[in-house]
Every structure is written in structure tokens, then in C-alpha cells.
Amino acid sequence: MNILFPFLQVTQKSPFPILINNLGQLHSIPCSDWNEEHVSSWLQAIGIKPEHIWKLKAEEVTGPVLLNINESYLKKLGLGGGQIQLLLSKRDELLLLDKSKTIKKRGENREEAKHEVVSSSDVTSPEQPLLSSDLTETSVSLPQSRYRKLNDNDEHFSYIKHAILPPETGIDNLITPCHEYKSLENACKLEPRKLKIKFASEVIRFACACMNMRANGTIHFGVMDKTKTSYKHGEIIGIPIEDKEIFQEALDYIEKCFPALHSDARKCIKTPKFIPIVDKGSQTQNWIVEVDVVPMVNIVRDKLYSAHIPKFNEKTNKIEYEQKAYYQRVGPNTPRITEDELVSFSQALKDLDQKREQEENSQNQTQAHFKEDLERKLLVLLTRGKKYMDNTLRYILVSNRFDQENLQNIKFLVQMNIFCVFDYDPDSKSSGLCHNYKEHHAVNLHFLHDYDHRENTVDLIKKLQLFDRTSWIFCNGRSDYNGGESPCDEKTWIKTKKKLLKRSVSVICNEILPKGSFVVLFIHTHITLQFNGHEDIVIISVSREIYKKWSSLAQVSCLLDILEQISVVGMPMSHINATIQVHQLTCHQDGCLPVSNNGVCFIKSVDVERMNSLEVVCVDQCDETNVDLMEQEQIQKIEQYFYQGGKIDWVNMWLADNNKCEEVIKRDAYAEISKMLEDLERSDSLKRSIENINIYHEPGSGGSTVARQILWNWRKKMRCAVVKQSYQATTVCEHAVQIWNYEEVDKNACLPVLLLLEDCNADYQDDLRRELSNAVTTMKISPSKLCFIILCCKRSLDPERMCTALPLRTVGVTHKLSPAEKKLFSKKAGSLKLKFEPEFILTFVLMSKEFEQSYITGFVENLLKEIDHSSLQTQLIKFVALLNSHIENSYLSISHCEAFLGLGIHLDKFDKMAKPSTSTWIDETHISSVRIIHNLIAKEILKQLSSYQSQSEIAMSLLQDKVLFDHRFGRDDFRKFVRDLFIKRTKKSKGDPNDSWFSPLIEHVRETEDVEKAIDLLKLAYTSFDEDAFVAQQLARLLNENKNFEEAEIWAKRAKSHLPQHIYILDTLGQVYKKWFYSKHDAICKKNADIQPEDITDIIDTALKGITAFRESEKCPQSKMVCLNNSYFGEVDIGCRLLELLSNVDIFSTKEGKRELMDYLLTDYIPEEVQKPWQRFHGLLKGMKDKPETVNNPRKWLLRKSAVYAKLFFHDIQEDEASDANIVSPLMRQMKIFQLGGGNVTTILYLLSDNNKQRAGAKLEKIIDLFPVNLKKDLDQTGLINFIFCQIALSCASPGSGKLHSIEELQNISRRFCSEKRTALPDTAYLLLSILFWPEDSMGKEPSNTRSDIVMNAIKALQRYSEIKSASSRKGRIFTHFFLGKARGLNKIVHKTTIEKFCKGTLSERRLKWQGGEVWTNPDVVKVLKRVTGYTENGNLFVRVSDQSNIRVIPLFSASLPNSNENVAFYLGFSLHGVVAFDIKVAE
């Protein structure tokens, strides 16, 4: 089946290119007839935000819905008040316009059809907003169409309704056909006989004229020939045809019309062609009927033709023939040849015959010799005019099924930089293009719904790993996949996947890849598409027939002339393969790694790509580059990019090694690090298995260049790689171990791996070192064997000080040059100035000047001379300088700059310091961006420009710029950078110069300008970022710092209203009350007067609010993940001061008063003096002695509190301890259970660690005997959990025990947990349910709905617990208690100790087997455990428990989980985090 590809949206400047194209038609379509696309176009035109347009489109808001939409509905969709007001007011204007305009039905149909195709000239610039009133003034142009080729029987050719054919023509030359149109608008309604006469008369007249003129011609029926109608001349209308024979039989009149020369007429007049009209808005099929006339010279030579034109006589109801007449073509008309003209016309026939013969011969020769240069066309289209193909462009491949012959010729695809593939072949993974491509490259297998995301673009890129591997998107399911993505027929596909396809293409082309950075390549497609841009599209079709059929349908959205320009047709796949490979800059080949025997081994590129957390540097890195194809200009660009401040590339050093460009200077630090590596490499030196070398460097000093030079020059002695820190340390470790022992036989002889870590935090470095150390230990490698060297390269403002911490393994790189370096830089500067202008190698020039402040100041002063401070270019530079000064690695995308300037980017003289970094990788997205070349220059620009416009004013202008904020491409990064300006604080621990109380911008404004300006900035930022809770929090902190407590409380509460359970925001609210309370407390204490209860009512209120806020902060779910002591200390401080204050109140200040205060706080007693003043606080004050989440015993509270509490509550402690002495018999039984080890789940399972299973079983039997007989009645929730765990443990220790219950009995008992819906169950209860109710049968047999529901709900609950608990512990520390075995009943539950029993050896050896995966190959383990089948989807692992439901399974090691959508098999474990997968294998 060939799925129709209904829509491809190519990225444009506007986030809604297809929508903008529709604006030209909206004025003539009633709003009630609008579809979702029309509404979206209108919404964009009036200025509604893009995210709201998508929401309304997703809700299928059409014209009728828009007319009736109300405010409450829009609020539900999340639109803000301003957006709602704008939409509704513009809608009302639209209603007035709509009512004042009436459109005929025929006109409506025409405009609906015109909506299908719009010429590119009608695209409205996004920088020119359209008001609704503008819509009525927009001119409409109909799409142009082209003729069918003369005498061509292409059955796939079609016309588009309402498209325009060129005007009727006379005779240009005798071969190029002339054209005549007849609408048959009224005649088509005639009875068949009359229609036949009308058709015959027009054909005979036109044919006679063409034969006399010796000219080719085509007469078209169904095309408008009059202009006095609502149609345009040449407009394709079409006619309905019920019987084609009417038109075919009409030519039977030829014999009577040409009585003498009818055989000639038969040869010249061709049979009618019936061309279908594509009209999506109509249910009926209309046609164009065309008759070609081809008067070959060998037929018409020396002959003059006359004809008797037939006509129908209405009076006699008979057919009559006009008198014989001669006809000719005069311009676009067909008049008779008059008697006066006849003689001269006859005499001219000989010349016409001669001319016809010459043109026929010339045409034959042209056709014989004309061959389209497909090689050049293919190269130009694929490279955008370059002479070679490199990796600067990404390719989006759209493909259908490949036959086996063509699959042998896909090597050119293997070597292309393919970003993603839209594949319509459901068998591609098993036997098609995907199968063959995977042999060379690692791919991620996706479906269309994977791109229907709701998270931001950056998160989607990370989740789908879009820039790590080629994404293979199966558009019509996969026949080999178990996850429910089956292939479907065309109707089902359109219903279920059409919108998903639109969304996927939009996300990739509009949100992820920048305009101009990619080419969409259609190859072997039988797919019909509609698109609104063609400059990024290339079509390759081996079959001309398929192309004809496809292009006929595709002309709905693109003119055939344009399609031909972007199509390469009829070129065999083998020729395409060879042609492209010749022009590819790099040829695909396996890399080489050094090995311990001083040789090399090959490493498959697919294996390198699977280690996607590492950028592996091979021995033969870049050797596949065809340097002969590279132009000198390209080599200079690579060199210039580096000297302008860009990060050095491997190809840069490769070119230098091959003498194609100048060598890169090695700073002194290079020799120091090389010496360290040589010392580590010596076998006689003392070393550890993992070593660290640190490089601390000032920004711009070349530290990262030194690090990469080290990797480059040591790649033949060690295995080298750069770590991608977006991956977890566990994943990096796994891949590092793979590269370490790749193709090595003796693990104790492997070469060390040199890993480069750039600008990582200390925690990540420690995690990676720990993971590598564990891996080395478990592999039984000698402790003195050097396995891994972590080369950590970090920015620092004081590198020399950082060296003192670890002097033997740390190198500092500063701006200061040594005498030897000065000579090198001076010499290099001289040679570079011969090749480049100084401003194009600015970073190198600054480095050679050692970044002297005086030089930077003078340089910037020179740049800023005579600038126009009011220009957009200057304002843009201010924005970039502001971001670059305060936010590390910030930038403005080129797309944002173009939108701001309203044109293609040009920064005048600032291009010397603003670097368009065309290969800057930010968050793993390839973005063309602009940033100031160095942080010091950015600060100097900002400093000098601040005399004209302060930083607060620049920031205010940035926040108020709607063009930048609403621009869609790169929006997430832009908003993040600007948001960080206001909330991101500096920390020494992260390499910043100091710890700041607020963001550097806010600190600067409040210290050097005015606090009120800082407050105003944060208020504007709050609204600009859609009422961001964290901006409100920072504003509350700033107001609190300046003792504006009332307003601080308002903003802290506002932040809490957005995030009511956020620990830091709750703590901020508590801190506001705390400082406010201190202020009030200190004020009343200074009075030195007697304090009455009425005097401190307001102070108590503030204090209790603070305690409540701090307690909420301590209790919120995040408190288990974040160690935040501020709230705890705040609560204690307020409590201590409040008690101190209470003890100073007049009635409590005496000795008796102190006892009365204690009675008040600990009992129900309320003194009369405080009864009324403190009426609101009695309960809260009395509750200070205990914590809500603990037992009502003040001891636990007192242990945490100060001496103030101890002094007050000491007597209460003694009373509580006395009351604890009364112990009843059920407690005695419970204590006995505790004594034996049955008191909690941990101790019960610990009994199984006893190697003497008989002893463990006996102890468990004693414990079980202590439980009551009536389990349901006499056991509470905890007791019941302990009993069932004792039963499970006993089945593992002594499977034949008589104390065991059956699994059915335990299931029945445990159903009590399912009924306790209002009670929060502990995670151990959910673990029990998941174990007991896990189906014993294969997943293919559906268990009962009740059982599957219990299992699913239990596991979901465990996973919810896990989301809270696992974040506080290190990832990967999931402890698995039980495994699923092959046996039945309770025996299916296999405890971990059983598996460990099969693993012989020391503790270290057993650990090695677990971490290395050897345990899963143990025959005894394989015999006991059961493999479960499942599937992966969207980065998650699932097991299907029924046709309607599935369970998510946690992979123990995320790196072992395939990123693609695959069928898998694994061993199943049960843990308190949910069910866990081990030894995941892709099912082949």
C-alpha cells in the first residue's frame, strides 16, 4: 500500500508559514466556512501568541466555533486576560465585516479551491502584522497552470480547479502549439446530440485553421474563454461528463466536414484527451477535454483545406452544414479566409510547407541531442550550489519501500548527514532501507506520536536524542513491533496519523532545525505531498511513470514547473549512488583504535555511535576527508573560525598535520600535561587505576584548545574521547569501559582511556570517577594498572590559585604569556595578518595582547565612535552584551536577530566583535547564533554604553520587546537566557568569583543604580515570563532584604499560589515572616515597658505564620529530595524567640507565671488575661510542643529544640515516661515478634541471608506462630504486611514447610489493602501486591481484569513513591529483593540470595558477575528464572498484561535500554521502586 503524504511544512521565517499563505483568501471566504487552518491564519494575523494558536488548532476551532467562542472556554485553554480580550474584540470586528459582505455560491467554491494553492509571492512577512481590516484589501492571485504536452497520453496528468492557463495564443512557430479555449459553460448542459454538434463544430473549425497554417494546436474545452464573467480568462473550470463517447463520436463528422480530404483530417486531428480536475471542495468529478491537431508536412504538403461546419437547426430539429469555408489562425482567433485573401494565402503555402519541414527536422535533432545534465542538477540541489557535499547541511529523508536491487545502492545515504527519515515502509526495520542502514549507523526508531510533545523543545531533543543518532520515524507503523503500532490502510492512516505527521514535520522543521540548515530529500516515493516552500526540497525518482503520477497529484500545492526544477527523474539508483559519492567530502569507513601490542584495530562506526555519550577520537580521525574537494576558501574559513574565538575542531588539526593550513600554537601548558601523561604511562611509576589531570584556564586563554591538542596528539598512544555531560555518569562509564576493552584480549594489558571533561561540576566528576572505579574493581583489574585518565578542563578566574590544591596534577592557563609564548604569538600574528584582516582574528589578537584592560578599553572605544545610539543594530548589540556579560554561554540566534532587525542580519562595524557562531552547539542543538567574542569585551561594551542607557533600561527594553519574546525558533533558549538574567545567582562552588545574594544584574542595579529600579525590573520580568513563580520569589526576597515586608508578603504568597508545594518558595515565605517578626520583636523589646497580651497579638500572628510556612516547607515532598536546613533553623529560631517573648509578657514574667505559661502551652488551661486577645492563636500555641508528623510525645520535639523548650517541658517528659510503663499483652506478643526479627520487612528479609536455610526457616515458623489466628480481624495494616512477608520468606527458606499458606490464600488476605482506599498504604504493601498478583502465565494470555488492575495499580503506586525517594539517593541504587521464577505458586518468588548462591567466588568476584552481567549467563540462574517479553517505546520499557493495558518496567541500567522502539526480553525483579528489568536483550 502506498500511503499519501498529505502535508510537508518546510521551515520558514514565520512559525506558521502555511497559515500566513492563507491570509490572501480569507477576505472572500465567509467566516462560517473557515477550517482550522483559516482560523489559525487569522489568529496569527491579529497577534495571538503561537502557543495559544496551537492549542486552539488542536481543539479543532473552526469558523463556526470561532463565531460562538466565549471567555470562559478560552480561560480553560489557558489564555491570559489580554489575549482573550484581543481575540474577542477582533472576532467582533470580523463579524461586522462578515455580515456586510455577501458572496455568491460559485465564488465561494472558487475561493475554497484557491486556498489549496497559493503562489509564493503572496506570503506575508511576519514582521508586518495584519489587522482584521486589512484582510479585505488583500489582493488574490490564482495559481498558474501549464499545458499538457502536445500529443502526450500521460494518464496521470491532471489540472487544478481555478488554476489559470496562459492566455490563448496565436502561432509563434509551427511546432509550438497554439491554444484556444472553450468553456462549454452552457453547452455542457445540452442534450447529447446538441452537445456533440457543438463540440464537433469547434474542433473542425480550429483543426481546419491549424492544418492550413501548418501549425500544431490544442483546443481546450472547460477552460474560460470569456472575460465578462466572474471567472478569469484561462481559468480552469471543467465540465461534468457522464458519457465520454459523446466527444469521441463527435469526430465522426470529419468525413462530412472534409468530404474530399477527410483522411488527412483523420490523421491530423487526434482523439480527445480527458484530463481530470483536482477539486478537493467538490464531490463530483469535472474534466477538461482537449483535442490536439498535428499537421505533419508529409500529410498536408501543397494542400489547402476547407470545411463544412455542422450546426443544429432548432426549427427543423436537424443537423445542417455551413457552406464550404477556409479557416486560418490570426492571433488567438480562428477567422475565415476571405476571397480576397485566398489567392495570396494559397501562394504562401509552399513557404509554409518548407518552414514546417525545417522545424520538424530541427525538433527531431534537438530531441535526439538534448540530454539534461542530471549530475550537475543533483549536486546543486543537494549541496545548495557547493562543489562538494559536507556535513554543514542536514538531510531529512522521505522514503517508501525500496526494492532489493536499489537497496544495494544506498552507500551515498550512509555517508550523508541524515537527521531523520520519514519511512512509510512498515517492513523497513526487518528487510528494507532501515535494516540496511543500521548495518552502518546506529539509529533511534520512532513513531509519529513521539513528536507530539508537550514539553519544551530542548527536553524533546534530549529525550529523543535527536542530534546523537539518525531518527527513523515509521509513518505507517512497523510490522515487527509488539507495541501496537501496526500498519493501516489509507483511510485509517488519514484519520489517525495525518495530524501527527503535520505535527512531527512542524516540530522538526520549525522548532528544531533552523531555516536553511537542512534539505528534505524525497526518494523512491509514491507519496503525494502539499507544501508551501520548495527551496529546501529535492525529489529523486528513478521511475518516470511514478514521477508523473506523483507530480500530477503534487501540483495541488506546487506548480509543475517548480516541481521539475527540484526533481531528478529517470536516473538509475546505481548512477545516483556513484555520482553523489564522487562529490562527498568524507567517505564512510570504520575508524581505528590503538591496541596494546602497538598495532591498531578497526572499530565499526555503528559501535562508535552506540557509545553516544562519548565523542571518540580515532587514530585515523578525519582521514576519510577528501581534501582534494575542499577549496582553499573553505580551509581558510575553518582556520578563521578558530582564530576568531571558535572552539578548535579535529579537522583544523588534521589540516595542519597535512600542511594544508598553519600549525596551531601549543601553549606551555601543553608540554606540562604531556609530561604528566608520560609519567603516568611509565610502568615503573606509582599510579592508580583512575587518575585525574586538571586544567584551570581563564576564559579565552586557550585552555580548551590545549586539552583538545592533548587528545589529538595522544590518540595513537591512548584511546581518547570527549565526554558528553548530558548523559548520566553511569552511561558514560559503561561506554568508557566498552571503548577501553574494545577488541582487546587481555584486560590487564589494555591501553588507558583519556577522557576529556569540559566545564563540568565537581559532583559529576566525582560520580564518573566513582563509577569507573567500581567498574575497574569488579573486573578484577590490578589496582596499579592505569585504566582511565580524566582530563578535566574548567574555566576559572584564578587558575593559579586552583593549582595549589593539587599541584602535581593541575595546570593553570592564564592570559599572561611566557617569554617563549610571546615570541610564538608575535610570529604567528605576523603570518596571520598576511591572510586575514585583524578584525577577523580578533580573539587571537586579544590573546597576543594578553587581554590587557587598556587594550580592550581602547578597542571598544574605537568601535563605539560615531555610532547611532537610536539604531536597531546598536540596540541589538546592547541586548547581546547584556546577556553575554552576565550569563555564561548565552547568545541570540540569527533567527531572533533577523526578526528584530526586520531583515537579513547585518551588524555593520560590530561584526568585528559579534561572532556569528555558525557551529555553536548549545544544548545539543545546532544553532546559528550571535554573541560577543569574549566576556571581557561584552562587559566593556556594556560599561561604555551605560553612560547613554543604563543596564536597567537595557534590560527593561529587552523585556518589553515582543518581537524577540514571541519569535518561535530558539524560543526556549532565548527565554532561559533572559530569565537567568533575573534569577540566576553566582556561586563560588560553580567557578563564579563570589556567592551573590541576587543575580548579577539585579545586584548591579540595586547597588549602582537604585533599588526601586531593581524592583520594577523584577515586576516586569514576572509578567513577561507568564507570572513566573521564581521571579516572584526573587522579588519577595529583594523586598524582604529592603524591609518592605508588606509587599514582600504579597509577592511570596503570589509565588506560593503558582507552586504551593515548592520547598524553596515556602521557605522564602517563612523567611519573610521571620525577618518581619524579628523586626517587630526588636521594636517592642526596645521600649523596655511591661508587655501586655494585647501588645503582642500582631507579633504572635506573624511568628505563627512563619512557623506554619517553615513547617509546610519541611513537609512538602521535595524535602525528601533536597537537604534544606533553612526551614528547620527558621522554625526553631522563631519558636525560641516567641517563647522568650511569651515568657516576658506581664502575666507570665513571674515564677508562678512561668508555671502558668507551661500549663497554658501543655494543657487545655487558658488564662483569663489571654482568653480574648489571643483567641485566634490558642490552638497553634498549644501545638508548638509537638510535630504533626510525629507521635504526640514532646520528647522528639524537645530533642530538636533549644534549652528554652527543655526548660518549659521537662516536667511533661517525666509524666510521659511514667505513662509508658503500662504494657498490655498484645504488646508483649508484638515485642516477642520483634525479638525474633519479624517486626519489620527489613529484618524479616534479613533472615534469608542466613546460609543455614533450615535455621532461618525454623525462626520464621516461630514468628508465624505468634501471629493471631484471625488475621483479618486481629492484625492492623503493618502486622498483616509483616505476616505475608514472613510467608514469602518461609517459602524461599523452606518451601515444604507446613506453616505455609497457598498463594491464593495470601492473595485473598492481601485484597484488604485494595479496599483501604482512603488510607495511605506503605510501599511495602504495594510491593506485596505486585509480587502476589503478578500473572504466572505468559503475557500473551490475558489474566483476569481484577488481577491485572491490582498489579498495575500497585506498580504505579510504587513508581510514584520512587519518584520522590529515588531522587534523594543516587540513581542506579535500586535494591531488588525478589525475581520472577519459572515455578508456580509461592515458588515463583525467587529471593536474591538464591541467585547469589549460584555465583561462586569472593565478594569482589560475585560483585563483578552482577555488574558485568555474567550472572545472567549462569546455567543455574537461567534454569530458575523466567524471561519476560516486552517492548520499548519512547525511551520506556513496557510489559503488556492485557490487550488494553501495559506496565512500565524500570531498566536497572538505563544505558542497556535501546533508545529505539524495539521488542525485548529480560529477567524481571521486584523492588520498592516498582518492577525492574535485568539483562535486556533486543528480540531479533
CB 382 within 8 A of CB 389: yes
Given this model, what pLDDT does residue 101 score?
A: 53
The pLDDT score that the predictor gives to residue 104 is 39
The CB density around residue 644, as the number of other CB atoms within 10 Å, is: 20
pLDDT score, position 353: 92
Distance separating alpha carbons of residues 146 and 271, to the nearest angstrom: 21
With a CB cutoff of 8 Å and minimum separation 6, the contacts of 511 are 457, 968, 969
Which stretches of the chain drop beneath a pLDDT of 50?
1-25, 102-140, 529-532, 904-926, 1119-1123, 1186-1225, 1227, 1338-1342, 1366-1372
Phi/psi for 321 (5° steps) reads -120, 135
Using the Cα atoms of residue 201, residue 206, residue 210 and residue 215 in order, give the sign of their dihedral: negative
In three-state form (DSSP H/G/I as H, E/B as E, the rest C), the secondary structure along 210-223 is: HHHHCCCEEEEECE
- Residue type, position 1328, single letter: L
Record the cell numbers describing residue 291, joined without a space.
483535442
Q: Are 884 and 931 in contact (CB under 8 A)?
A: yes
Residue 1316: CB atoms within 10 Å: 11
Look at residue 1230 in the predicted model and tell me its pLDDT.
67
- How many other CB atoms sit within 10 Å of the CB of residue 1346? 11
State the pLDDT at residue 215. 93
pLDDT in tens, 101-135: 543 333 444 333 333 333 323 322 333 332 323 32
- In 3D space, the residue among 952, 1083, 1084 whose CA is nearest the CA of residue 1014 turns out to be 952
Q: How many CA atoms lie within 13 A of 911 on its CB side?
A: 9
- The pLDDT score that the predictor gives to residue 884 is 86
Buried b (16+ CB within 10 A) or exposed e, 1292-1303: bbbeeeeebbeb
The number of beta carbons lying within 10 Å of the beta carbon of residue 820 is 10
* Nearest-angstrom CA–CA distance, 117 and 22: 9
What does 159-210 look like in DSSP terms, one character per residue?
EETT-BPPPPB--SSSSSPEEEEE--TTGGGS-HHHHHHHHHHHHHHHHHHH
Q: What is the pLDDT of residue 128?
A: 31
Cα dist. 322→129, 256, 258, 310, 1274 in Å? 62, 11, 12, 6, 115
**pLDDT score for 1140:** 78
- Cell numbers 508536412: residue: 297
pLDDT of 442:
87
Q: How many CB atoms lie within 10 A of CB 540?
A: 22
CA distance 1241 to 1239: 7
Q: Which of 1164, 1144, 1168 is nearest to 1154 (CA)?
A: 1144
pLDDT for the residue numbered 139: 35
